[in-house]
Amino acid sequence: MAPAYKLTYFPVKALGEPLRFLMSYGGIEFEDYRFERENWPNLKPNMPFGQVPVLEVNGKLAHQSVAMARYLAKQVKLVGKDDWEDLEIDAIVDTVNDLRHKIALYHYEQDAAIKESRKEPLFKETLPYYLERLDTIAKNNNGHLAVGKLTWADLYFVALLDTMNCYAQMDLTGNYPNLQTVKNNVLSVPAIKAWIEKRPDTEF
């Protein structure tokens, strides 16, 4: 029987990977449908808002990667113990996403002059600003990004790291020991380890 969960996404990690991490963590069997880029124009009209990732759960379509990640986090019990803890977790996830956006803005810029002008502010100001703060949070939370224990905020950050590193062409956690601890904590979860061993090898 086909699994009840099907993830449709480009053949990359990016916004699909936090969802794959969460399902793997919780032992949720899923079809990891990675379509070829040339098929996207055919698929796009069938997606709720013309974008992916899209998660099909028992025949129902869900969209918006953070909303889907939050849903899965509830399913696999990686949420907070009350609304305040959930707020703390959500704020980290949104912050990681803000960081991803800022790096992507640089990475995807086609105009070489504009890209060059974005380089110094990104690498000298934005990245240290975000990473120092996240590192301090990780230090104060025992190697986690929120509420002092493993939550979907940790999985979200680590799942997006490869993509952010690839966009920035550097190891974002390189100078940040507490963020490295967050990474190690997530990557040492047996189910995540098993997922990483079996997932397709992609650049980002």
CA 77 to CA 75: how far, in whole Å? 6
Which residue, 51 or 117, has its beta carbon nearer to ligand GSH?
51
CB of 135 to ligand GSH, least distance (A): 25
Beta-bridge partner residues of 54: 8, 63
Which residue, 44 or 119, has its beta carbon nearer to ligand GSH?
44
- For helices 65-75 and 152-168, give the axis angle rounded to 10 degrees: 140
CA 181 to CA 153: how far, in whole Å? 14
CA 55 to CA 31: how far, in whole Å? 10
CB of 53 to ligand GSH, least distance (A): 6
CB of 43 to ligand GSH, least distance (A): 10
CB of 58 to ligand GSH, least distance (A): 20
CB of 64 to ligand GSH, least distance (A): 5
CA 189 to CA 199: how far, in whole Å? 15
3-state SS track over 52-95: CCEEEECCEEEECHHHHHHHHHHHCCCCCCCHHHHHHHHHHHHH
CA 105 to CA 111: how far, in whole Å? 12
Which residue, 67 or 114, has its beta carbon nearer to ligand GSH?
67
CB of 11 to ligand GSH, least distance (A): 12
Sites of contact with ligand GSH (CB under 6 A): 14-15, 44, 50-53, 64-66
Q: Are 68 and 53 in contact (CB under 8 A)?
A: yes
Which residue, 71 or 123, has its beta carbon nearer to ligand GSH?
71
Which residue, 66 or 166, has its beta carbon nearer to ligand GSH?
66
Which residue, 46 or 184, has its beta carbon nearer to ligand GSH?
46
Among candidate residues 41, 107, 38, 100, the one with its CA nearest the CA of residue 65: 100
